[in-house]
Structure 1
Amino acid sequence: MPRRVSLPAADDLFRPTAPGDKAVRAVPDAPEEAAAEPAAGEKAPKKPSGRVRHDEKMTVYVTSDELLDLEHARLALRRSHGMAVDRGRLVREAVALVLADFETHGDDSALVRRLSAE
């Protein structure tokens, strides 16, 4: 008979341990703001997929310094903003920001400027 191990939930792992500490939520509360309707002829801005099951996979190789920078950003989001996000979500958000800037600004986008500087 196989034994199943019961593991604690993320909210149990990141619960406050000292008085005055605020809990870090594994999934931040959704914003309550209603999305603004795009004007006639404009496309609605694309949003990153967030916490859903992803059917596609892409492998990206990074340097050890880039990986450390990514981890530092992830930990800073947890420490300063109470957001427990994984590296994949952080990368998806960053990609969404860069692509939205490219779609809006085209040749003047940060993406074009950085790739042209190489």
Structure 2
Amino acid sequence: MNRRPSLPGAAELFRLTAAAPVPADSPVSPVSSVASAEDAPQQRRGSGRTKHTTKITVYVSDEELLALEQARLTLRAAHGLGVDRGRVVREAIAIVLDDLESHGDESLLVRRLRER
């Protein structure tokens, strides 16, 4: 039995977690970037690596769990993204909710739920 704790790798410990601040001498003023951000619809994002205060339990089939784990491994191997299953699920939820909000009745979620 292995009693060594599993610790995160250096890539996870030292990765960037926030957008880089705009330097004061930058040609892009903070006011112009705010105005352009207001013009574009806000896109939902998964919460990433933060302390989460709420938990839900979701039951999945063996095939769904295997597909989720394969997606996580593909993200690591092919794209260099070391993420856990929870992060993948939170991003997927954010994508589906954005699609529902912007497309309503024509959203992928509504169409797929109506199929069943």
TM-score (norm 2): 0.73
CA displacement at 1:6 relative to structure 2: 8.2
CA displacement at 1:48 relative to structure 2: 1.5
Aligned length: 100
Q: 1:105 pairs with 95, 103, 106, which one?
A: 103
Q: What corresponds to 2:38 in structure 1?
A: 38
- Which letter maps to 1:38? E
Q: Quick check: which one's helix share is greater?
A: 2
Secondary structure of the structure 2 residue equivalent to 1:104: helix
TM-score (norm 1): 0.72
Q: Does 1:82 align with 2:80?
A: yes
The runs of 4+ residues in structure 1 deviating greater than 4 Å are 5-9, 30-36
CA displacement at 1:82 relative to structure 2: 1.0
CA RMSD of aligned residues (A): 2.7
Structure 1 unpaired stretches of 5+: 13-24
CA displacement at 1:91 relative to structure 2: 0.3
CA displacement at 1:115 relative to structure 2: 0.1
5 Å matches for 1:4-83? Answer: 9-11=7-9, 25-26=11-12, 28-30=15-17, 37-39=37-39, 44-83=42-81
Percent sequence identity is: 44
- Which letter maps to 1:48? G
- Whether contact under 8 Å (1:26, 1:84) holds in the other structure is yes
User: Quick one: structure 1 residues 8 and 62, their matched pair in 2 at CA, closer, same or farther if it must change by over 3 Å?
Assistant: closer
CA distance in 2, matches of 1:90, 1:70: 8
